[in-house]
Amino acid sequence: MSNLILEPLVVPSGDPVSILDDLEAAISGTRSLLPLPEKDQSRAATLRASQSVGEPCDAALVMATSGSTGTPKGALLTPVNLVSSADATHQFLGGPGQWHLALPAHHIAGIQVLVRSLLAGIDPTFQDVSGGFSVADFATAATELATTGDRTYTSLVPNQLIKAMETLQGIEALRLFDAILVGGAPLTRDTLRAARELGINVVTTYGSSETAGGCVYNGRAIPGARVRVVGERIHLGGPMIAAGYRNMPDHEAFAEPGWFATSDAGSLTDGVLQVRGRLDNVIITGGLKIQPEVVEQALLNVSGVTGACVVGVSDPRLGQRIVAAYTGSVSPGEVVEGLDDLARWQLPKELRHVEALPLTGPGKVDRVKVSKLFQ
């Protein structure tokens, strides 16, 4: 039995750097911590109960998953998981540097900014994103880091990157970073092309709490990580793979030691991973199968669409019908006109324009709540 007891760690949104000492203790093996959001008491209570706070635990951190398909699971991350992930990131990027934290630090992407900073021996700059992403605050931090002469990095979700790219101030700030990790959701071809043309070094990332953050950058495994596709399912391996789930010792996702069987479908071509979408998101409409992410990508490639979520809802004739909610400046009619490349049966039967898509975490859309919009 472990000598450590799982402790709750409330992460202050206004000063996330204040938990650095706690993280250092966890990485040194003297504490076991469950990071909790400061301003979401409902989720914090759910995590305290489901992850058995106050009970023995061997992990350095228990990192909650987004919980998009039910009660969040808790990935058991060891000191080796956290350090190997951070080291591999620095190897990929060309060396340690100074980081700016612009993501909630109770999520794995934010935690890893702090862990990388610990290993680099430099406190990160940060901004409070609990009330939204301020481009002005981001630009101030970027300018401050640029004066150090060190390599500088940050992590963003697609919506933050797009928002910053909409203003000259944001573009100039983005260009100051040696690399910007972008994950949580896919980027459109247009956004990636625009970033390249503007001199912004975007690195797309793929990973999760179960892999101690992103372990595939620009489609390729970072140092030490491994990727394979079994059937359609993506499997990720390496020293950054979690020891399992809290209170779920025999979960099938960790059936093979050192590997995590994701819930995502994908393919490997010449060592480059293409993620098609979640296996459990597949929509069967009129007997035909479609990954909603395929339709979402088509929607996002329509000029003026800034966000999209496609789901299947019950239909007496088709079994499921394809519906979509989106954000942006264009009308539903204009969106449909921009979907010429989709087969007729793949077109959404209903389009709904919304002010904002509901989220379960940074950049992750809550599909359950979107489905309810059409019921």
Same structural domain for residues 231 and 337?
no
Same domain, 247 and 266: yes
Q: How crowded is the C-beta side of 31, counted as CA atoms within 13 Å?
A: 15
179 and 310 housed in the same domain:
no
Average pLDDT score over the chain: 93
Same domain, yes or no, for 192 and 334? no
Structural domain harbouring 356: 282-372
266 and 341 fall within a common domain: no
- Average pLDDT of the segment spanning 5-22: 96
Residue 225 shares a structural domain with residue 308: no
Q: How far is CA 22 from CA 60, 83, 101, 200, in A?
A: 10, 15, 17, 34
* 366 found inside a domain: yes
CA atoms of 91 and 277, how far apart (whole Å): 28
Among residues 253, 274, 295, which one ends one of the domains?
274
Which pTM does this prediction carry? Answer: 0.84
Domain boundary among 221, 245, 274: 274
86 and 187 assigned to the same domain = yes
We report the CATH number of the domain holding residue 314 as 3.30.300.30
Per-residue pLDDT, averaged over 223-234, amounts to 96
Helix (H, G, I), strand (E, B) or coil at 314: strand
Is residue 292 domain-resident? yes
Q: Which of 42-46, 64-68, 255-259 has the lowest mean pLDDT?
A: 64-68
Task: Please indicate, yes or no, whether residues 353 and 225 belong to a single structural domain of this protein.
Answer: no
Distance, CA of 79 to CA of 84 (rounded, Å): 8
Helix axes 158-165, 168-175, angle to 10 degrees: 120
- The answer to whether residues 204 and 262 belong to one domain is yes
Judge whether 49 lies within some domain.
no
Count of C-beta atoms within a 10 Å radius of residue 199: 10
| Same domain assignment for residues 109 and 164 | yes
Examine the domain organization and report whether 220 and 98 are in the same domain.
yes
In angstroms, what CA-CA distances link 275 with 108, 266, 309? 20, 4, 16
Alpha helices in the chain (DSSP H): 20-27, 41-50, 79-93, 108-120, 135-146, 158-165, 168-175, 189-197, 292-300, 332-337, 367-372
Indicate the number of domains in the chain.
2
E strand spans, 318-375: 319-328, 350-353, 359-361, 364-365
Domain boundary among 238, 257, 274: 274
pLDDT band for position 360 (cuts 50, 70, 90): confident
Q: Which of 39, 72, 75 is nearest to 60 (CA)?
A: 75
Digit-coded pLDDT (tens) for 20-37: 999 999 999 999 999 999
User: From the CB of residue 267, how many other CB atoms can be counted at a distance below 10 Å?
Assistant: 12
CATH number where 221 lies:
3.40.50.12780
- In degrees, rounded to 5, the angle at the alpha carbon of residue 342 between the alpha carbons of residues 337 and 344 is 85
Angle at 69 between CA 64 and CA 71, to 5 degrees: 50
Give the count of beta carbons closer than 10 Å to the beta carbon of residue 271: 9
- pLDDT of 1 > 60? The answer is no
| 257 belongs to a structural domain | yes
Q: Are residues 286 and 268 in the same domain?
A: no
